Structures are given as C-alpha cells and as structure tokens.
Amino acid sequence: MSYLPPFPSAHREAALAALAEFLPRAGRDYAEQRNHDLGPSDRTNVSLLSPWIRLRQLTEWETVAAVLREHDAKSAGKFIDEVCWRTYWKGWLQQRPSMWTDYRADVARLQAEQAGSEAVQAAMTGATGIDCFDAWARELVETGYLHNHARMWVASIWIHTLALPWELGADWFLRHLLDGDPASNTLSWRWVAGLHTAGKTYLATRSNIRRYTGERFEVTVDLAKTPVELERSPPPPVQPLQEWPAASAGGRTGILLTDEDVSAAAWLAAEAAPAAVAGFFPAEAYEELGTANHVVRFRREAMRSALGKSADSGLFESVDRLADWMKTVRIEVLLVAEPPVGLWTELMPRIRELCGQLDVQLCLKRHGWDDLLWPHATHGFFRFKKAIPRAMARLGEW
C-alpha cells in the first residue's frame, strides 16, 4: 500500500481495510524493517495507519487488540510501542499545557520576524540543494505523509544544518501532515533540537540516510556534525490531570464529537443514551493556522463518516449553528470526549461559555486508555512503557 493522489479515504471502512492488510506484517517484519524509508512508492514496511489513528477513526486500543490477535506481545512489541508513543506525547503535554501555548506564541513571533525569509521558503519548497531534504519537503506537501525516520532527518537538517527555528519547522509539519498531532509533533521536534531530554540531540548523518533509504540519495552536502546550541529551560512542573464530574442523571443528553476523537459517540454512549449526536469542526481555527487543504478535507470527511446520516445529527463549523442545534434538540447535558492540549485548548472555553448561556451542563470524559496511561507520562518513554502491559490487560473492557 502507498499514498497516491487523491489522498486516502477518511472513512472507517478504509481504515479497517488498511489495518487488516497490515496485520500480517505487524510482528517481526515491522520490527526489522520499520526504520527503512523505501520511498513514497513503497510503504510496505510500515503501517500507514497514523492518519486514522490520529482522529481515532481507528483507536489505539482496537489497533493493539487486533495486532495481539495475530502476534504475541514480544514479536509485536515495536509496533505497539509506536502506537503508545502517541499516547505518551499526549499525556506528557496534557500535564504541561503551558508548553503548547508558549510554543504557539513563539511561532507567531517568528512568523512576524521572518516573514519573507528566503531560507525558510527554500526549505519549505524543497529548494535547499540538499537532495534528500528537498525530496522529503516535496513529499510532505504533496502527500501529507513522511516516514518517521525521514521526519527525524528533516527536523535535524532544518535545525542543525540549516540553522532555522525549530518552531517554524514544527508548524510546517503540523499544517501538512495528515496525522499531524500537536503533542507528538511539537515534542518530537523539541527532542531533535535537544530541548526535550537533557543531553539528547538527534543529528542526521549521510551514512545513516544512505543506509536506511537504500542509497536513494547522494547527500553531497556536509550535514552538521555538532548540534546547534539552543537555550534549554526545565519543563514546566507537572499539573495533575483534571478529574471530571459525572453527568447529571436524567437530563436530555447530547454527544458532541470533535476531530480529536471521532470514536467517542460509541464509548460516550455508555455514560447515557444520547438523544442526539453532533460534531463541531474547527474550520476557522484550521484556516487561521494555515492548515493544508488536504488535511482539512481528510478530517472533515472523517467526522462526516463518523456522524452518519442520523436525522438529529449535524456537523457544525460555528458556535451559532451549534447553539441552534442544542436548542432545537433541547439538550440539557452535553457529553464531550476531553480534547487533548492543542487546537482545542482555545476552542473549549467557547463551548463552555455557550453551554453556560444555554444552561446546559458540559460534561467532559476521558477514555479509559488515556485515563490509565496519561498519568505515567511524567518523565521519559521508558518509564511510561512499564504501564503498557496494564493497558493491554484491559483491552477487553474497551
């Protein structure tokens, strides 16, 4: 399977078909071959499931459960770890929300300071003269995807060889990747820059790129041999995860989906049988961010697919339309899957204010997967990893 224009279908049926196609390769084959970037025409050594997992069109728990039905935990350990890295990053940022707001403020400042920067434009359009970097830059924009190893190489060259601000590179990725995730993307760029873990910096090398791309690139330009020295401050202290109160019993309940978790209608219904389900798509926020059209289309399509054609459902892109729906359906309790820190950090206060105006109880809920694993994302991944077997033991509950 490979990404070819047009972009892959966001529908769950396509996600399930992709999962079924990948499952036989999720064990030792994946562990041995996953680091090789074979090029955009051959992605048979990786899963390509991340755009659907990002939106929970495929959930982490059902993906891991499916893999464990075909492989034992040891042979599939590398793939399970990759699924859980996304959870780790989300949990880490969820407990340090100020890091996201600081990062977005830095992006805005740098965009104003470097408007028209020829070096930044050359990097984003694949015109640096570094053959591998330029090919990956074009692949990112044209397909919405990059192999994970290529993402590390690109970030390293951007930061340490081209000496460009890491924040602008992270923003470029976030706007174009179909699986772009605020936590995974921001914190991975910080890790490459040497800002996430003391003493840990990632430097791309010509030999490593040649080896893991099958010598597809010459890499004739000298890459940085020493990292750029960036000022590193300790991360903000961990904030305990919010405890969310239960919904009031007996109220007429509606479920509001977001593109952070399109699976939520299924598991939120266990809280209370909903009178109606709707979705809110943050089109305005994506426009302000400068998100690529293919990302917006994919996520909007995923939400429409998840909502189906229920007479009482709708996909709204303005607070006013959402308010009209809540009035029409006479919602008294609104259930929402807790959005992780990111785009919804600025949107949730607007939803909360609207609910207050309409005298609707807003009730946020955290899925059991996140509730179990997020609290362990306080330090490095390998400490977090000790909790993964506990999540695997509970897969049957979800």
**Burial bucket for residue 34 (CB in 10 Å: 0-12, 13-18, 19+):** middle
Closest Cα to residue 261, out of 167, 365, 331, 168?
Answer: 365
Closest Cα to residue 91, out of 291, 396, 389, 387?
Answer: 387
146: helix, strand or coil: coil
Residue 124 dihedral angles phi and psi, to the nearest 5°: -70, -20
In what helix (H) or strand (E) does residue 106 lie, and over which residues does it extend? Answer: helix 98-113
Distances (CA, A) of 200 to 186, 195, 203: 16, 8, 10
Cα atoms in the Cβ-side hemisphere of radius 13 Å centred on 161: 23
Q: What is the pLDDT of residue 6?
A: 52
Crossing angle of helices 148-156/182-193, nearest 10°? 50
Rounded to whole angstroms, how far apart are CA atoms 141 and 17? 25
In what helix (H) or strand (E) does residue 17 lie, and over which residues does it extend? Answer: helix 12-22
Distances (CA, A) of 31 to 68, 291, 397: 15, 33, 28
**Burial bucket for residue 323 (CB in 10 Å: 0-12, 13-18, 19+):** middle
Rounded to whole angstroms, how far apart are CA atoms 135 and 122? 12
Rounded to whole angstroms, how far apart are CA atoms 366 and 371? 6
Q: What is the pLDDT of residue 193?
A: 97
Domain spanning 12-94+374-397, CATH architecture: Alpha Horseshoe (1.25)
Rounded to whole angstroms, how far apart are CA atoms 107 and 180? 16
Q: Is the pTM of this model over 0.85?
A: yes
Cβ count within 10 A of residue 271? 15
CATH class, range 253-365: alpha beta
Q: What is the pLDDT of residue 4?
A: 43
Tokens of 60: 């982490």
Tokens of 109: 């400042």
361: helix, strand or coil: strand
Radius of gyration of the chain (CA): 21
Q: What is the pLDDT of residue 310?
A: 61
Closest Cα to residue 175, out of 270, 79, 288, 275?
Answer: 288
Q: What is the pLDDT of residue 246?
A: 86
Give domain limits for the chain: 12-94+374-397, 106-212, 253-365
Rounded to whole angstroms, how far apart are CA atoms 261 and 239? 23
Which pLDDT tens digits describe the chain residue by residue (398 residues)?
A: 444 445 789 999 999 999 999 999 999 999 999 999 999 999 999 999 999 999 999 999 999 999 999 999 999 999 999 999 999 999 999 999 999 999 999 999 999 999 889 999 999 999 999 999 999 999 999 999 999 999 999 999 999 999 999 999 999 999 999 999 999 999 999 999 999 988 889 999 999 999 999 999 999 999 999 999 998 888 899 999 999 988 887 889 999 999 999 999 999 998 888 999 999 999 999 999 999 999 999 999 999 999 986 656 789 999 999 999 999 999 999 999 999 999 999 999 999 999 999 999 999 999 999 999 999 999 999 999 999 999 999 999 99
257 in Cβ contact with 51 (< 8 Å): no
Domain spanning 106-212, CATH architecture: Orthogonal Bundle (1.10)
Q: What sign does the dihedral 304-7-178-16 (CA atoms) show?
A: positive
Distances (CA, A) of 234 to 47, 103, 229, 381: 35, 14, 15, 17
